[in-house]
C-alpha cells in the first residue's frame, strides 16, 4: 500500500509500505521517508504553506481514501444530507411527516453533548413511529457491519451562535458530524487549535439544529504535529475557559489529555499526512467510534489510545487463533501485556474482557485479582466503565452462583477465592467451558501452587496477564517452582509492550523528581567492618532520626505538595496535592505516626497535617524478597500482634474523630476503613497516609503527587511505589515527587534500566535544578530588560505577543522550580512586581480572548496563555479580607490607607478568579468603617448584592421568580449551574420551542450564560 499519491502534485513526498489488515485498527509499522510530515509538504518544497493550503491538502487526501466530498456550509443543507444518508443506511425513505418527528427526537432542542453522545454510544438504534402506525428501527450508525456506514467530509461550515463561526474540516458519519478537525498553519502551537474548539463548544456547536453536539472525537493539527481526543475533554476544557462549572466537574479538562496516534511499536504518527493515512483509514476510524470508545457511568466519553487498542486486539486474535488451532488449555492460548503502571491497564483489560465476552464461542470471562483491595479498586473501575457489568463474588458460594449464571458474562474474583472454589467443587462443569481468564497485575502470587491449581482444573482456557513490571530472569528470584519464575513461563509470550519511557514520552504519565535526603552520617575513622557491624535498622529507628525526618516533612510539606496551587476537584476548590509515607515495617509506621502526633499536638487544628495510618499483617514484612516485590498485606487484622492491633485501633479512633466515622479493626469495619481512607485520599481530604505496603501497588489517585520513602525499595516494588505519584491531573502537576530518606539512587537506576531501557533515567527523572534555573535566569533577565513595568501596558501586537510568550515560559519554569529547596530566596522577581506582571498578563488575556457580551472575540492563532499556572498562585477571598482588615486598621492615616488600598487593588488584579469581582471588593472597601467585624460585614454585603443582582436578572429575562431562586440555591449547593436536563427550562417564561428563528433556544442560552456569569461572580465569596 503506497501513499506516494497523497502529496501535492509534482512533489517527491513518499511513504513506505505499511503493514495493515482489515482486522487491525492500528498499523503494525509506519515509516515516513519524506522530510515533511504533513499534507502539502515535501522533501523538495520549502515554500510557505498557508492554513487554507493545509486544509485543501487534507481534504484531497481524504477524497483519495474514498471519503465523499460535500460542499455543505449551512444547517439546511446539513439536515437534508442527514436525511438522505439515514435513508441509504436503513434502506427506506421517510415521509416528510416521519422525518419531522424523527428529526425532533435526534436533534433534541434541550439536549447537549452528553445526551447526544449517549445516543451514539448506548442507544444508536432509534424507534420510528411511521405514518401507518407501525414501528421501524432506524440505525444512526451500524456497529455490527461497520463498512455499511458512509463517510463524508465537509469544510468551512458556517454557523451563527453566540458568535459567528466557521469550522475547518468535519467528518460526517451517515450525515452526522462525528469527528471535527481544527487546523492551524505550520509553526503555530497546536494548543491554539485546542483552544479554538473550546470556543466553538461555548459559542456555536449548540446552535441551529445542534447537530455538532454529536461530534465524538476531535483532531487538532498544525501539519507537523497532530493529536486527537474525545468530546469530554473538549467540553470540560470549554467549561474551564468560559468559567462555567458543570456538575461533577473534573480536572481532566486540558491539553494534557490529548493523545498521539501511533503504530503498533508505539512510534507516534505526528504528521498530518501519516495521521490521515492511518487514523482516518475507514476501518480504523469506524472501529474507534464503534468499538474503542467507552461512555462511562459518569457520562464521560473515553477514547482508547493506540497501545490500548493493540493490546485488546492482540488478546482477541490470540483467542481466535488458538481456538481454531485447538491450542486452548496451554500457554500458546494466552500471553501477557506489559503496559507500564498508570497507562490505563484497567480500561484496556475491561475492553478486552468486554469484547471477548461477546465472542459466540466464549462461555465466560473471569477477571482475577490477587488481593481484596485490588478487588475493590477493580470493581469500582469496571463498574465505572459500565454500570453493573461486573458481578463481584463476595465468597465462594457467590462465586459459584456467578459461574453458573449464564447472564453473568464477566466475573471478577480474587485468586484466593477462585482456588477455594476449585478445592470445594471438584469436577464442576465450568472447568470444561470455554473460559478466558484475565489476571490484573500478574506477578508472583500467580506463580505458585494457586497458578498450578487453576491451570489443572480448567481444560479449555485462555490465560492472559497484565503487568506494569514483568518478571524477567534478571529479577525472578530463586524461590518457588523453577518452571514458574518469570511472567513468560506463567502466561506465555508477550503480546504487547508499552514501557514507562513510552508513557512519559507520550505524556500519558508524568516523570519523577527525586530528592535523596541523607539522614545518617557515619563517623570518620570507622573501618568497613565496623560500619557493617552497625545495627542499621535500629539506627534508622532512633528517636533523633525519626524526629528529624518528621520535622523535614512538616517543613517541606507545602512546598513538595504544591499547597500554593489551587484547582477544581469535583465540585470544590482545593489547594495542592497529597502524599503517601512508605515505611519499612509496622514498628516504623507506628513510631512515625506517634512522632507526627507529638510534633503537632500544640498546633491549632487548622495548621495540623491530616495524617492517616493503615497496615495489616504481611508475611514478607522484612523486605527479604530478592525480586523486589512488596510484602502483600491482607485484611486479616487478627494476625497482628496485640500491640500493633491496639495501636491501629487508636489511630482509626483518631480518624473517626476527624471525619465523624465509626471504623475499627474488626474484619468488616477494617475493610470499610480501607475504602473510606482510599476515597478521602483520592478526594484530597487527607494530607498523608502512613503505610507499610498498602497503597503502594494497585492504587490510583490523581491528587497524589508526593511519596516520602523510608524503606528499601527495588525493582518491581520501586517502580510500583514511585508510580503512585505520576498520574496526570492538570498543567500544575508536572511530575511526581519522590523524597527518599534512604540511598535508593542505584536501585532506582537499576529498576529504570530493567523496566525502561538503559537510557530511561534521562527520560523518567527530571533534569537537575541548575539546568532549569539557568534557563529561568535567562528568561527573567530578558523580561526585566525588554518589558519594564514602567512601560506597561506594552504597545503594539508584536510586543504583546512577545511578552505573553516570555511570561508564559517563566510561569512554566517557576512551576517546576518551586519544588526545589534551592529555589527559595532566588526567585529574581519580588512578589509585588510578580503580581504586577501577572496583572498585565491577565489584562492581555482579556483583550485577546474577548469577554462575554462583546460583539466579537479577538482571537489570534499563535498566542497561548498559561492561565492554569496563573491560578496556582492566585490570591483568594480570605487573603483579600486580611488586606481589607489592614486597610480598616489604617483608616485615619492617609499614607498607610492609600498603600493598603493599592495593595488590595494589586492583589485583585493579579487573580483570575477575583478580577470579575473587583467592583464588589472595592465597593465593600468603601463601605467599611473603623469598627466592625470584617468577615461578618463581608457576608452581609455580599448577600445583599447577590440578592439584588438576582432580582435584576429575573426581571430582565422575565423568569419565574420562585423557581429561579430555587434553581440558583441548588446551583450554589451543588457547586455548578446545571446546563442539561429540564431544570433550566422550568424557570423560563412560556415560549414555543418551534418559534421562528429558534427563539426558545436563543433565550435559553442567553439565560444560561447570564446565570453562569452570576454564579461565577458570587460562588465561593462567603
DSSP 523: P
Q: Tell me which of 900 and 452 has the higher pLDDT.
A: 452
Report the run of H or E that residue 1013 belongs to, with start and end.
Answer: helix 999-1018
Per the DSSP assignment, residues forming a β-bridge with 167 are: 157
**pLDDT tens, residue by residue, 310-319:** 999 999 999 9
Q: What is the DSSP string of 548-591?
A: HHHHHHHHHHHHHTTTT-EEEETTEEEES-EEEEEESSHHHHHH
CA distance 263 to 265: 5
For residue 796, name the pLDDT band (cuts at 50, 70, 90).
Answer: confident
Are 637 and 616 contacting, i.e. CB atoms less than 8 angstroms apart? yes
Whether 488 has a pLDDT exceeding 70, the answer reads yes
Long-range CB pairs of 79-84 (<8 Å, 24+ gap) are 79/103, 79/209, 79/211, 81/152, 81/172, 81/175, 82/174, 82/175, 82/176, 82/211, 83/175, 84/175
* CB proximity list for 41: less than 8 A, separation 6 or greater: 7, 11, 13, 34, 49, 186, 223, 273
pLDDT grade for 290, boundaries at 50, 70 and 90: very high
CATH pick for 563-764 out of 3.40.50.300, 3.50.50.60, 3.30.365.10, 2.60.120.10 = 3.40.50.300
Q: 217: pLDDT confidence band, cut at 50, 70 and 90? A: very high
- In angstroms, rounded to a whole number, what is the distance separating the alpha carbons of residues 1020 and 1022? 6
User: Hey, what's the torsion of the CAs at 866, 871, 874, 876, to 10 degrees?
Assistant: 160
Place of cell 476548590: 573
- Domain spanning 306-498: which CATH class is it, in words? alpha beta
877 grid coordinates: 477571598
The per-residue pLDDT for 174 is 98
Task: Confirm if 873 and 812 have CB atoms less than 8 A apart.
Answer: no
What are the C-alpha distances in Å from 229 to residues 123, 173, 179?
Answer: 22, 17, 10
Mean pLDDT confidence for 494-498? 95
d(CA 240, CA 250): 10
Closest of 733, 687, 752, 751 to residue 871, by C-alpha: 733
Topology at the third CATH level for domain 769-871? Methane Monooxygenase Hydroxylase; Chain G, domain 1 (1.20.58)
pLDDT digits (tens, 9 = 90+) for 252-268: 347 888 999 999 999 99
Task: Give the integer Cα–Cα distance in Å for 36 and 38.
Answer: 6
Sheet holding 164-173, edge to edge: 68-69, 151-160, 164-173, 176-183, 217-221, 226-230
pLDDT digits (tens, 9 = 90+) for 663-692: 999 978 998 999 899 999 999 999 999 999
Give residue for cell 539546568.
Answer: 771
Cell of 339: 503496559
Residue whose C-alpha is closest to residue 225's, from 278, 183, 277 = 183
**Closest among 139, 143, 73, 77 to 102, alpha carbons compared:** 139
pLDDT greater at residue 856 or residue 511: 511
- Predicted confidence band at 33 (pLDDT cuts at 50, 70, 90)? low
| Helix/strand/coil (H/E/C) assignment for every residue in 630-673 | CCCECCCHHHCCHHHHHHHHHHHHHHHHHHCCCCCCCHHHHHHH
Contacts for 700 with CB less than 8 Å, ≥ 6 apart: 342, 377, 724, 727
Mean pLDDT of the chain: 83
pLDDT at 39: 47
Check if the beta carbon of residue 85 is closer than 8 Å to that of residue 174.
Answer: yes
Question: What's the grid cell of residue 906?
Answer: 494589586
CA–CA dist 308, 316 (Å, integer): 13
Max mean pLDDT range (288-292, 861-865, 886-890): 288-292
Cα–chain-centroid distance for residue 891? 49
Q: What is the pLDDT of residue 894?
A: 77
Tally helices (H) and strands (E) across the chain: 36, 25
Domains 69-303 and 769-871 share a fold: no
CA-angle at 736, arms to 733 and 742, nearest 5°: 150
Residues 390, 369: Cα–Cα separation, whole Å: 13
Q: How far apart are the first and last CA of the chain?
A: 64
Cα dihedral 954, 956, 958, 963 in deg (nearest 10): -10
Does residue 684 contact residue 574 with C-beta atoms inside 8 Å? yes
pLDDT of residue 828: 92
CA-nearest of 148, 197, 155 to 173 is 148
Report the relative pairing of strands 217-221 and 578-583 from DSSP bridges: unpaired
3-state DSSP of 186-237: CCCCCHHHHHHHHHHHHHCCCCCCCHHHHCCEEEEECCCCEEEEEHHHHHHH
Percent of the chain at pLDDT > 90 equals 43
**Residue 173: strand pairing partners:** 151, 176
Q: Which CATH class is domain 69-303?
A: alpha beta
Asked whether the bond before 921 is cis by omega within 30 degrees of 0, the reply is: no
- Sketch the domain layout of the chain as residue ranges: 69-303, 306-498, 563-764, 769-871, 877-1018
Average pLDDT for 778-782: 94
Closest residue by Cα to residue 194 from 752, 865, 692, 919: 865
- Rounded to the nearest angstrom, the gap between the alpha carbon of residue 528 and the centroid of all alpha carbons in its chain is 49
Q: Given pLDDT bands bounded at 50, 70 and 90, which one contains residue 994?
A: low
Please state, in angstroms and rounded to a whole number, the distance separating the CA atoms of residues 24 and 22.
6
Are 487 and 465 in contact, with CB atoms under 8 Å apart?
A: yes
Range among 213-227, 399-413, 624-638, 688-702 with highest mean pLDDT value: 213-227
d(CA 210, CA 115): 12
Helix (H, G, I), strand (E, B) or coil at 161: coil
- The greatest distance separating any two alpha carbons of the chain, rounded to the nearest whole angstrom, comes to 101
Distances (CA, A) of 115 to 85, 285, 1007: 22, 22, 20
Cβ 720 vs Cβ 396: under 8 Å: no
All three cell numbers of 505, joined, read: 514520552
According to the model, what pLDDT value does residue 447 have?
Answer: 59
Checking if the pLDDT of 140 tops 80, the result is yes
Between residues 372 and 435, the one the model is more confident about: 435
Q: How many alpha carbons lie under 13 Å from residue 739 in its C-beta half-sphere?
A: 23
Rg (CA), the chain: 30
Q: State how far the alpha carbon of 70 is from the alpha carbons of 202, 205, 326, in Å.
A: 26, 20, 49
CB 176 within 8 A of CB 140: yes
Q: What is the mean pLDDT of residues 348-366?
A: 93
Q: What is the mean pLDDT of residues 213-231?
A: 94
* Neighbouring-strand partners of residue 127: 137
Cell numbers at residue 410, please?
464477566
Share above pLDDT 70 across residues of the chain, in percent, rounded to a whole number: 83
Residues 869/731, Cβ–Cβ less than 8 Å: yes
CB-based contact 239:568 (threshold 8 Å): no
- Return the number of other C-beta atoms located less than 10 Å from residue 198's C-beta: 24
Please tell me the predicted confidence (pLDDT) of residue 991: 66
pLDDT at 35: 46
Of the listed ranges 72-76, 399-403, 422-426, 537-541, the one predicted with least confidence = 537-541
Question: Looking at residue 20, what is its pLDDT?
Answer: 40
pLDDT band at 242; cut points 50, 70, 90? very low
Closest CA to 785 of 804, 812, 806: 806
What's phi and psi for 495, nearest 5 deg? Answer: -90, -35
Q: Which helix (H) or strand (E) holds 804?
A: helix 797-817
Q: Which residue has the cell 492551524?
A: 184
- In this prediction, residue 484 carries a pLDDT of 73
> 169-173, 189-193, 338-342, 990-994: lowest mean pLDDT where?
990-994
Which residues are CB-contacts of 585 (< 8 A; sequence separation ≥ 6)?
A: 621, 622, 692, 711
Residue 833: how many CB atoms within 10 A of its CB?
A: 13
Amino acid at each position: 500500500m503506497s501513499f506516494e499519491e497523497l502529496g501535492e502534485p509534482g512533489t517527491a513526498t513518499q511513504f513506505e509500505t505499511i503493514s495493515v489488515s482489515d482486522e487491525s485498527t492500528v498499523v503494525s509499522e509506519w515509516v515516513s521517508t519524506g522530510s515533511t510530515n504533513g499534507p502539502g509538504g515535501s522533501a523538495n518544497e520549502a515554500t510557505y504553506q498557508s492554513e487554507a493550503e493545509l486544509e485543501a491538502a487534507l481534504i484531497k487526501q481524504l477524497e483519495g481514501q474514498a471519503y465523499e466530498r460535500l460542499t455543505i456550509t449551512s444547517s439546511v443543507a446539513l439536515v437534508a444530507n442527514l436525511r438522505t444518508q439515514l435513508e441509504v443506511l436503513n434502506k427506506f425513505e421517510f415521509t416528510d411527516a416521519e422525518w419531522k418527528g424523527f428529526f425532533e427526537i435526534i436533534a433534541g432542542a434541550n439536549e447537549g453533548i452528553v445526551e447526544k453522545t449517549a445516543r451514539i454510544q448506548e442507544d444508536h438504534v432509534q424507534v420510528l413511529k411511521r405514518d401507518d402506525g407501525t414501528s421501524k428501527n432506524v440505525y444512526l450508525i451500524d456497529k455490527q457491519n461497520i463498512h455499511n456506514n458512509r463517510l463524508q467530509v465537509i469544510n468551512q461550515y458556517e454557523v451563527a451562535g453566540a458568535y459567528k463561526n466557521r469550522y475547518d474540516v468535519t467528518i460526517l458519519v451517515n450525515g452526522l458530524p462525528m469527528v471535527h478537525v481544527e487546523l492551524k498553519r505550520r509553526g503555530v502551537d497546536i494548543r491554539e487549535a485546542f483552544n479554538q474548539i473550546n470556543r466553538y463548544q461555548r459559542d456555536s456547536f449548540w446552535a441551529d439544529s445542534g447537530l455538532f453536539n454529536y461530534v465524538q472525537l476531535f483532531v487538532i493539527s498544525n501539519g507537523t504535529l497532530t493529536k486527537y481526543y474525545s468530546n469530554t475533554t473538549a467540553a470540560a476544557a470549554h467549561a474551564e475557559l468560559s468559567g462555567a462549572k458543570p456538575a461533577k466537574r473534573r480536572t481532566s479538562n486540558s491539553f494534557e489529555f490529548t493523545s498521539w496516534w501511533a503504530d503498533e511499536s508505539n512510534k507516534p504518527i505526528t504528521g498530518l499526512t501519516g495521521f490521515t493515512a492511518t487514523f482516518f483509514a475507514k476501518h480504523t476510524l469506524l472501529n474507534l467510534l464503534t468499538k474503542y470508545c467507552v461512555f462511562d457511568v459518569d457520562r464521560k466519553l473515553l477514547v482508547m489510545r493506540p497501545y490500548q487498542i493493540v493490546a485488546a486486539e492482540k488478546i482477541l486474535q490470540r483467542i481466535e487463533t488458538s481456538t481454531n488451532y485447538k491450542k486452548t488449555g496451554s500457554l500458546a492460548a494466552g500471553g501477557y501485556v506489559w503496559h507500564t503502571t498508570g497507562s490505563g491497564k484497567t480500561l484496556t483489560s475491561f475492553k478486552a474482557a468486554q469484547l471477548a465476552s461477546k465472542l459466540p464461542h466464549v462461555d465466560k470471562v473471569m477477571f482475577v485479582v490477587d488481593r481484596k483491595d485490588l478487588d475493590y479498586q477493580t470493581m469500582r473501575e469496571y463498574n465505572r466503565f459500565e454500570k453493573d457489568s461486573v458481578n463481584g463474588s463476595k465468597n465462594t458460594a457467590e462465586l459459584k452462583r456467578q459461574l453458573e449464571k449464564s447472564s453473568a458474562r464477566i466475573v471478577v474474583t480474587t485468586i484466593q477465592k477462585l482456588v477455594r472454589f476449585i478445592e470445594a467443587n471438584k469436577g464442576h462443569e465450568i472447568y470444561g467451558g470455554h473460559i478466558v481468564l484475565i489476571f490484573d497485575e500478574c506477578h508472583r502470587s500467580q506463580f505458585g501452587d494457586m497458578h498450578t491449581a487453576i491451570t489443572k482444573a480448567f481444560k479449555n482456557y485462555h490465560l492472559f496477564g497484565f503487568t506494569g513490571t514483568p518478571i524477567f530472569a534478571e529479577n525472578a528470584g530463586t524461590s518457588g517452582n523453577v518452571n514458574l519464575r518469570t511472567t513468560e513461563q506463567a502466561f506465555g509470550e508477550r503480546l504487547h509492550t508499552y514501557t514507562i519511557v513510552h508513557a512519559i514520552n507520550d505524556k500519558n504519565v508524568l516523570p519523577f523528581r527525586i530528592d535523596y535526603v541523607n539522614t545518617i552520617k557515619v563517623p570518620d575513622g570507622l573501618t568497613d567492618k565496623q560500619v557493617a557491624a552497625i545495627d542499621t535498622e535500629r539506627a534508622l529507628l532512633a528517636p533523633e532520626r525519626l524526629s528529624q525526618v518528621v520535622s523535614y516533612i512538616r517543613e517541606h510539606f507545602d512546598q513538595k505538595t504544591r499547597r500554593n496551587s489551587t484547582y477544581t476537584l469535583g465540585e470544590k476548590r482545593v489547594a495542592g496535592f497529597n502524599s503517601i509515607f512508605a515505611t519499612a515495617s509496622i514498628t516504623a509506621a507506628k513510631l512515625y505516626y506517634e512522632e507526627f502526633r507529638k510534633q503537632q499536638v500544640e498546633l491549632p487544628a487548622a495548621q495540623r497535617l491530616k495524617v492517616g495510618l493503615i497496615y495489616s499483617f504481611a508475611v514478607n514484612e522484612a523486605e527479604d524478597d530478592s525480586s523486589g516485590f512488596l510484602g502483600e498485606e491482607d485484611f486479616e487484622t487478627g494476625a497482628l500482634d496485640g500491640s500493633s492491633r491496639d495501636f491501629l485501633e487508636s489511630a482509626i479512633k483518631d480518624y473517626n474523630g476527624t471525619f465523624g466515622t465509626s471504623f475499627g479493626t474488626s474484619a468488616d469495619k477494617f475493610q470499610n476503613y480501607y475504602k473510606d481512607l482510599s476515597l478521602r485520599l483520592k478526594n484530597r481530604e487527607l494530607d498523608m497516609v502512613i503505610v507499610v505496603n498498602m497503597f503502594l501497588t494497585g492504587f490510583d489517585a490523581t491528587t497524589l503527587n508526593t511519596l516520602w520513602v523510608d524503606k528499601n525499595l527495588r525493582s518491581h516494588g520501586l517502580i510500583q511505589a514511585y508510580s503512585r505519584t505520576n498520574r496526570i491531573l492538570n498543567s500544575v502537576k508536572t511530575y511526581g515527587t519522590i523524597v527518599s530518606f534512604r540511598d535508593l539512587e542505584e536501585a532506582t537506576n537499576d529498576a529504570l534500566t530493567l523496566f525502561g531501557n538503559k537510557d530511561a533515567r534521562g527520560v523518567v527523572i527530571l533534569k537537575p535544578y541548575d539546568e532549569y534555573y539557568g534557563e529561568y535566569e535567562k528568561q527573567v533577565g530578558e523580561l526585566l530588560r525588554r518589558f519594564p513595568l514602567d512601560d506597561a501596558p506594552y504597545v503594539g501586537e508584536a510586543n504583546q505577543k512577545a511578552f505573553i510568550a516570555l511570561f508564559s515560559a517563566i510561569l512554566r519554569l517557576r512551576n517546576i522550580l518551586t519544588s526545589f529547596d534551592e529555589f527559595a530566596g532566588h526567585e529574581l522577581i519580588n512578589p509585588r512586581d510578580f503580581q504586577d506582571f501577572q496583572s498585565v498578563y491577565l489584562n492581555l488575556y482579556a483583550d485577546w480572548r474577548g469577554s462575554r457580551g462583546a460583539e466579537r472575540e479577538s482571537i489570534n492563532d499563535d498566542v497561548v496563555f498559561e492561565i492554569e499556572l496563573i491560578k496556582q498562585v492566585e490570591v483568594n477571598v480570605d487573603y483579600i479580607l486580611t488586606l481589607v482588615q489592614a486597610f480598616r486598621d489604617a483608616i485615619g492615616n492617609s499614607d498607610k490607607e492609600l498603600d493598603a488600598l493599592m495593595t488590595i487593588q494589586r492583589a485583585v488584579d493579579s487573580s483570575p478568579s477575583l478580577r470579575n469581582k473587583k467592583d464588589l471588593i472595592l465597593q465593600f472597601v468603601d463601605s467599611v468603617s473603623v469598627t466592625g467585624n470584617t468577615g461578618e460585614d463581608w457576608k452581609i454585603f455580599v448577600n445583599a448584592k447577590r440578592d439584588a443582582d438576582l432580582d435584576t436578572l429575573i426581571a430582565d429575562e422575565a423568569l419565574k421568580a420562585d423557581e429561579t431562586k430555587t434553581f440558583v440555591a441548588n446551583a450554589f449547593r451543588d457547586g455548578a449551574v446545571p446546563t442539561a436536563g429540564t431544570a433550566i427550562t422550568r424557570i423560563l417564561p412560556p415560549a414555543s420551542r418551534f418559534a421562528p428563528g429558534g427563539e426558545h433556544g436563543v433565550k435559553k442560552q442567553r439565560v444560561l450564560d447570564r446565570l453562569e456569569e452570576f454564579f461565577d461572580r458570587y460562588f465561593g465569596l462567603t
